[in-house]
Structure 1
Amino acid sequence: MSALDEIKEFLACETPDSWIQAALQQQDLLLIDHAHCEKKAASTAMTLMFRYVDNSDLLNKMSRLAREELIHFEQVLALMEDRGVQYCHLSSCRYAGGMRQPVRTSEPGRLIDISIIGAFIEARSCERFAKLAPYLDDELAKFYRSLLKSEGRHYQDYLKLAEDAAGEDISERVAMFREIERELIESPDPEFRFHSGVPAVA
């Protein structure tokens, strides 16, 4: 089974075609939010490093992840500059907030939940890169395909961190977040973002 096949099996649903169409019609916005996503991913990894200073496996995985995400951020910015797209502030979509609602506050539950969410965010990013690539221009398609390997590894790193933090089967917790993620992806969303749901009808 390929990494992409594993990710598709991990997710409860594929990205709806209506989201793909919206992305193709708003490629400037797609790139701007993609840049924000890479920056946020690096920030999340750094936050975990500061919070869990005694977890050497987490420190190593998140250090590498943060570096890779910042390189991706720089690469997206370079693409945007070449295309005359201005990086700017965007409001957050409901995806991350929706995923974080059931996160537990005590440990190790908090680390387990945050890591599972990280796995879903990286898996969904990977799935969307792969699904978008065939419809994009050669330069952007090549870039998105180049991200598949690292994003797939990030998904695996987060899932392993959750399993190690739990020290027991986490399938029920994963299943709960899988259903939340499916609902967020398949339900109408008022604004388009890289992780938004079905575009709401105006």
Structure 2
Amino acid sequence: MPIQAIHDFLLCETPDSWVAQAVNMQDVLLVDHANCEKKAASTAMNLMYRYVDNFDLLHKMSRLAREELRHFEQVIEFIEKRGIVYDATINAGRYAAKMRKPVRTFEPAKLVDTLIVGAIIEARSCERFAKLAPHLDEELQKFYLSLLKSESRHFMDYLSLAREAAGEDIAERVQVFLALEKELIESEDDEFRFHSGVPTKLASAV
């Protein structure tokens, strides 16, 4: 999938101020990226345990979990190679928790919303890999660009599963979460993380 499709889906681009901070904080970037890959695999596994009668979901989430764990392995290789301390206890930041707040608590709405959130997170990850890559060293740039294909497929898998689970048009619900995501990406954020918003100290320059 071309990156343009991701841009067409999301309501905003990553602010340049976040890219600048990411370049200057690559140790935190890689540690949080590793944790994000672990959590993505865990989310897929949890869905597999919770919705055992959905064979399409089982197949797609099994593949996704394997790929996310492989990405985790690749990121920690970078962390080790570059002499970065891998602090797995680093807090996750606000993004994912706030994205999940509007998720409904009854089925199948809970599944639909959870899958929509998954799609948006994967889309944003893909967008950030593409935007950040040109500013990185050759080795890390090549790695981040290599992730675009799988991340864009994960985005489409989540979105197609959400449509199947709903059995009806989900466009309005998708827009609810996209609007929230836009707010999180464009608003000030005290902590730098892979999915954080505008760095507070640079907010006035955006």
Q: 2: distance between equivalents of 1:163 and 1:143?
A: 31
Q: Spell out the pairing of 1:39-118 with structure 2 (5 A cutoff).
A: 39-88=38-87, 89-118=89-118
Q: Give the aligned residue type for 1:34.
A: H
In the alignment, is the contact (CA less than 8 A) between 2:185 and 2:197 conserved in 1?
yes
Deviates more, 1:58-67 or 1:83-92: 83-92
Q: CA deviation at 1:114?
A: 0.4
Q: CA RMSD in A?
A: 0.8
Among all aligned residue pairs of Structure 1 and Structure 2, give the percentage whose two residues are the same amino acid. 66
**Large movers: runs of 4+ above 4 Å:** none
Q: Secondary structure at the match of 1:195?
A: coil
In the alignment, is the contact (CA less than 8 A) between 2:47 and 2:61 conserved in 1?
yes
In the alignment, is the contact (CA less than 8 A) between 2:189 and 2:200 conserved in 1?
yes
Q: 2: distance between equivalents of 1:98 and 1:90?
A: 18
Q: CA deviation at 1:192?
A: 0.2
Q: Give the aligned residue type for 2:130.
A: A
Aligned length: 201
| 5+ long unaligned stretches in structure 2 | none
Q: Give the aligned residue type for 2:101.
A: Q
The equivalent of 2:15 in structure 1 is: 16
The equivalent of 1:138 in structure 2 is: 138
Q: Secondary structure at the match of 1:7?
A: helix
Q: 2: distance between equivalents of 1:160 and 1:200?
A: 36
- TM-superposition CA deviations, 1:37-79 (whole Å, max 9, x none): 0000000000000000000000000000000000000000001
The equivalent of 1:192 in structure 2 is: 192
Q: Secondary structure at the match of 1:99?
A: helix
- TM-superposition CA deviations, 1:96-150 (whole Å, max 9, x none): 1111111001000000000000000000000000000001000000000000000
Q: 2: distance between equivalents of 1:135 and 1:107?
A: 43
TM-score by length of 2: 0.96
In the alignment, is the contact (CA less than 8 A) between 2:6 and 2:127 conserved in 1?
yes
| 5+ long unaligned stretches in structure 1 | none
Q: CA deviation at 1:86?
A: 1.5
Q: 2: distance between equivalents of 1:86 and 1:48?
A: 31
Q: CA deviation at 1:6?
A: 0.7
Q: Give the aligned residue type for 1:61.
A: K
Q: CA deviation at 1:87?
A: 0.9
